[in-house]
């Protein structure tokens, strides 16, 4: 079975009296192996894949024959039943099997190996599956993909159908895959008025959420928020503006003067406003606290240049400081000297980074242990819980946070809340890399505050200067197209057609580079600017998966939405899960698919086994091709990347290209059109809407610096208003 991104399902079917055939269509959404279906449609001929049945309507039936029941139960649909147990149950009850499970579940204990505990588990799973099937029918009635049924049930349980039909806006932000448009379609078809206050509130909150999740903004300008909402739902401006006031009264949003003091009022979601205030207070406390670092005379490292010596002194004398600079400029060596100096003076040091790979890399570069920020904070309560971090602070005289461009507002707030006054916080990162996936631009904001001690290392050392990767990176920063060929380390291969680009990238990653370099394909990482499209992470990742880890007879696999999980797949969590101890950007390998438990087990790169239920698999993505954003903090021996102008090339920007190139250790091969390469070099990223710099500057008795962008340069593409950026 295969599900495309537009929820168009292609499935292999078997039917009595017919040879195996392929069926396809959106009506098959949510169909699972083992189900019995009644299909309506017509036969057609696909130009590439041959004859198939195009489905226009699909009805799920209760399996009637012993064989169909055995396949259905053994497919993994019912948690607690695998193929062997399914065979035993059906052998005992025959055609009455499903009736027994549905009406007399206690009788399951008549089957060998089913005790009271297993019987209760099967009964609960059966009821859950019935509820999900009923939800699928309701969703289809609203014209909504039935693939969302399991996700809705996972959040709302027995309330799911009532929430769906009576208060669909509750699902926004809680059910992955349901945004305003989907909830609104259900609401309007259920009789909700277009002028309903709840509808307008949901639309306003959706605009704020989209600005945060898609663009990383902490706020929107009030006029832009109201205008976008008016356009989206077609309601009167005054009605929308009045509803915004109601949200303020309900304390769901905060309206205040523009942080730059030069524009109209702005609107924050309450949570982001609170985080920004708390982060400001935390940093102010740390900056103003007297140092507790034991200061003694220390021997200066003769291998440091002048800027590095200044950086070491800064970190030892300032309780909050920022060290930035590009690749090859000596940031890691400087951190190693700072940490060694603190230890030599009798102090304690904690080295940390936002992701596991970044922490491992930091440890390798400094020769000292390092951990992820999440692990460092594993036993810390969230600030919003009301508990005080100062009760259980992270005790170290020096705390170093590397790859700080990845720190979003949420993580930075948790981190600074956990640091006791008097400790030194050294924030290290490359401000020219992409900003965090989450909202905010913490590193960039700190660099705009004159009262925060900071230094930028600019000298590229000789050994690094010889790298084609570093030469290419510095040319990109200067607004120049990298030289091609770029010598050892960087290569650009010009191909215009996106389909040919995808094929070439796959060949390079799976055959050409492994063969020429004598390495395993796991040493080659494909990075993509976009998720969708021919050269996006989804389609390219699927192509590489089919080449490196295809379906094999006798090997279990599980389809989850548009993805199939197989033993041996490389995967990556896309959400932090504190219960499992896995975090966004970690990598792991699928080790087993436990059908009867409806679960996939993965082994993380640090050797731990973690289990994901089938209903949790939207927290995992395959790692055969990943976005440049998700590769931040990681370094790979070899990188291959497509660069084309699909979908207008809206992701082609200088920071993205710079971040992509600097993820490679030995070689980076970019395949695509020269126009796309030149566009990525020219186009600058818009600044995110944040108020942290101004708040912090004022709190520390200073004014923030406002950097100007070269908007008057006709060769630089930069939007005039961040709220208007696509």
Check the annotation: does 580 bind a ligand: no
Check the annotation: does 331 bind a ligand: yes
Q: Could you tell me the CA-to-CA distances from 346 to 110, 293, 294, 299, 392 in Å, in that order?
A: 69, 9, 7, 14, 22
Q: Judge whether 608 and 589 are in contact, CB under 8 Å.
A: no
3-state secondary structure of 176: coil
User: Could you write out the three-class secondary structure of 423-462?
Assistant: CEEEEEECCCCCCCCCCCCHHHHHHCECCCEEEEECCCCH
The residue behind tokens 């390219």 is 540
**Rounded-to-integer distance, Cα 79 and Cα 124, Å:** 9
3-state secondary structure of 323: strand
CB-CB neighbours of 89 under 10 Å: 27
Q: Judge whether 128 and 121 are in contact, CB under 8 Å.
A: no
CB-CB neighbours of 472 under 10 Å: 28
**Rounded-to-integer distance, Cα 276 and Cα 445, Å:** 12
Of 143, 148, 118, give the one whose Cα is nearest residue 132: 148
**Rounded-to-integer distance, Cα 149 and Cα 133, Å:** 8
Q: Tokens representing 526?
A: 């494909």
CB-CB neighbours of 257 under 10 Å: 12
3-state secondary structure of 361: helix
**Rounded-to-integer distance, Cα 240 and Cα 200, Å:** 7
Check the annotation: does 328 bind a ligand: yes
The residue behind tokens 């590489």 is 544
3-state secondary structure of 665: strand
Check the annotation: does 130 bind a ligand: no
**Rounded-to-integer distance, Cα 202 and Cα 418, Å:** 34
Sign of CA dihedral 234, 235, 241, 244: negative
DSSP state of 508: I
**Rounded-to-integer distance, Cα 57 and Cα 500, Å:** 36
Phi, psi for 282 (deg, rounded to 5): -60, -50
Please enumerate, by residue number, every residue annotated as part of a binding site: 328-332
Please enumerate, by residue number, every residue annotated as part of a binding site for ATP: 328-332
């Amino acid at each position: 079975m295969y599900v495309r991104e537009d929820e168009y399902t292609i499935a292999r079917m078997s039917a009595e009296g017919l040879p195996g055939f392929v069926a396809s269509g959106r009506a098959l959404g949510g169909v699972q192996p083992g189900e019995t279906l009644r299909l309506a449609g017509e036969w057609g001929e696909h130009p590439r894949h041959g004859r198939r049945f195009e489905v226009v309507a699909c009805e799920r039936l209760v399996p009637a024959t012993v064989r169909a029941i055995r396949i259905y139960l053994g497919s993994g649909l019912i948690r607690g039943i695998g193929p062997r147990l399914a065979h035993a149950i059906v052998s005992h009850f025959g055609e009455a099997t499903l009736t027994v499970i549905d009406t007399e579940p206690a009788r399951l204990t008549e089957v060998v190996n089913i005790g009271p505990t297993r019987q209760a588990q099967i009964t609960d799973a059966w009821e859950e599956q019935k509820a999900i099937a009923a939800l699928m029918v309701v969703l289809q009635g609203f014209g909504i993909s039935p693939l969302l049924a399991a996700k809705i049930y996972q959040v709302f349980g027995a309330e799911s159908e009532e929430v769906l039909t009576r208060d669909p806006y509750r699902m926004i932000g809680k059910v992955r895959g349901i945004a305003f448009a989907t909830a609104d379609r259900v609401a309007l078809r259920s009789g909700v008025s277009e002028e309903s206050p709840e509808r307008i509130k949901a639309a306003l909150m959706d605009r704020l959420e989209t600005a945060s999740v898609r663009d990383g903004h902490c706020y929107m300008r009030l006029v832009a928020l109201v205008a976008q909402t008016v356009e989206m739902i077609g309601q009167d401006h005054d009605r929308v503006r009045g509803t915004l006031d109601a949200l303020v009264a309900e304390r769901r949003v905060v309206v205040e003067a523009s942080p730059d003091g030069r524009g109209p009022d702005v609107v924050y979601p309450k949570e982001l406003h609170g985080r920004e205030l708390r982060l400001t207070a935390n940093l102010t406390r740390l900056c103003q606290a007297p140092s507790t670092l034991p200061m003694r005379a220390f021997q200066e490292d003769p291998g440091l240049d002048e800027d590095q010596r200044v950086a070491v002194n800064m970190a030892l004398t300032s309780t909050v400081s920022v060290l930035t600079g590009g690749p090859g400029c000596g940031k890691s060596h400087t951190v190693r000297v700072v940490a060694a100096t603190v230890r030599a003076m009798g102090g304690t040091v904690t080295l940390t980074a936002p992701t596991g790979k970044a922490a491992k890399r930091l440890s390798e570069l400094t020769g000292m242990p390092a951990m992820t920020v999440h692990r460092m904070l594993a036993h810390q309560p969230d600030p919003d819980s009301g508990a005080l971090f100062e009760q259980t602070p992270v005790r170290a005289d020096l705390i170093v946070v590397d790859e700080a461009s990845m720190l979003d507002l949420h993580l930075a707030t948790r981190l600074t809340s956990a640091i006791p006054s008097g400790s030194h916080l050294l924030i290290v990162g490359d401000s020219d890399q992409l900003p965090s996936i989450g909202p905010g631009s913490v590193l960039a904001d700190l660099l705009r505050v004159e009262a925060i001690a900071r230094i930028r290392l600019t000298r590229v050392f000789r050994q690094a200067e010889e790298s084609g990767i570093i030469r290419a990176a510095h040319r990109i920063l200067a607004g120049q197209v990298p030289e091609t060929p770029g010598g050892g380390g960087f290569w650009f291969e010009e191909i215009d057609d996106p389909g040919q680009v995808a094929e070439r990238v796959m060949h390079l990653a799976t055959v050409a580079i492994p063969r020429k370099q004598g390495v395993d394909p796991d040493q080659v990482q494909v990075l993509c600017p976009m998720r969708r499209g021919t050269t996006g992470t989804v389609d390219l990742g699927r192509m590489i998966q089919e080449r490196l880890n295809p379906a094999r007879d006798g090997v279990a696999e599980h389809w989850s939405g548009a993805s199939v999980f197989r033993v041996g797949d490389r995967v990556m969590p896309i959400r932090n899960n504190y219960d499992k101890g896995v975090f966004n950007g970690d990598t792991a390998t699928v080790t087993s698919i436990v059908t009867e438990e409806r679960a996939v087990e993965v082994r993380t790169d640090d050797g731990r086994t973690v289990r994901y239920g089938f209903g949790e698999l939207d927290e995992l993505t395959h790692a055969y091709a990943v976005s440049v954003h998700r590769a931040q903090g990681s370094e790979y021996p070899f990188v291959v990347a497509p660069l084309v102008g699909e979908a207008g090339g809206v992701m082609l920007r200088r920071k993205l290209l710079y971040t992509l190139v600097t993820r490679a250790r030995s070689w980076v091969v970019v395949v695509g059109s020269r126009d796309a390469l030149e566009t990525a070099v020219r186009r600058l990223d818009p600044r995110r809407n944040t108020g942290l710099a101004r708040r912090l500057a004022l709190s520390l008795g200073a004014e923030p610096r406002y950097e100007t962008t070269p908007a008057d340069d006709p060769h630089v593409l930069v939007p005039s208003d961040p709220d208007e950026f696509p």
